[in-house]
Amino acid sequence: MHRVKCIVSYDGSNFAGFQIQPTERTVHGELEKALKKIHKGLEVPIAASGRTDAGVHAVGQVIHFDTPLSIEAERWPRAFQGILPSDVNVRSAAYVDSDFHARFGTTKKEYRYRVLASKEADVFRRNYTYHFYHPLDIEAMREAASYVIGTHDFTSFSGSKTVVENKVRTIFEFDVLEAGDEIVFRVVGNGFLYNMVRLLVGALLEVGRNKKVPEAMKDILARKQRGAAGKKAPGHGLYLWEVGYE
């Protein structure tokens, strides 16, 4: 058996999320259906670096699977291309050691969240950016983001479906970038809780509207209380950008 690592991109607009669900269309399901065809009916399970919710996109999701086939690594993306739907793409593939694990071997993840900061909506970006028409104070949001860099208990920024007990995570970088009429929130950490990025962005947008002072982020963290962060940003502006391994 050979272990294959793949980098996968997908448009999450028409998926019920990444993780396989019996009655819903998922990225996981489409990938395993494609592998079953490639393997002439053999079930080939995959493992991924993590799950994404309905509407959330990925530029650099990572998966792995074990295969008895001997195919050149560069041919795997082409094999998938003829089978996968147009909203999923295997960007690259490589053979890795048998102890590589897409989920348990991660050392960092980068997410990006795109906000369309304009009065006028853009019909062509409605599934890929969160249209936010209120004026935003960029410097205030940058200051607020700086307060969550480091190692903290992120209970206050965890969603109601969070099941892990240890909610301590480390944020390495948190940038608020201007890109034309968009604001991009770029966050890199060693791991993220369920809905954590969307809750962080939601809180920063409140700071940007001057509904919260930047220092409020420190108070929210200190409370360690689910729901303290307030409203989460919607899923369709979020991208799993890159996954790092040792």
Enumerate residues 6+ apart whose C-beta is below 8 A from 122: 116, 129, 131
130 neighbors 238 (Cβ within 8 angstroms): no
CA angle 232, 143, 176 (to 5 degrees): 60
Nearest to residue 233, comparing CAs of 186, 198, 191? 198
SS3 breakdown of the chain: % helix, strand, coil, rounded to 5?
A: 25, 30, 45
**Buried-exposed string 163-186: b where 16+ CB fall within 10 A, e elsewhere:** eeeebebebeebebeeeeebbbbb
- Residues linked to residue 48 through DSSP beta bridges, in sequence order: 63
115 neighbors 130 (Cβ within 8 angstroms): yes
Catalogue the active-site residues: 53
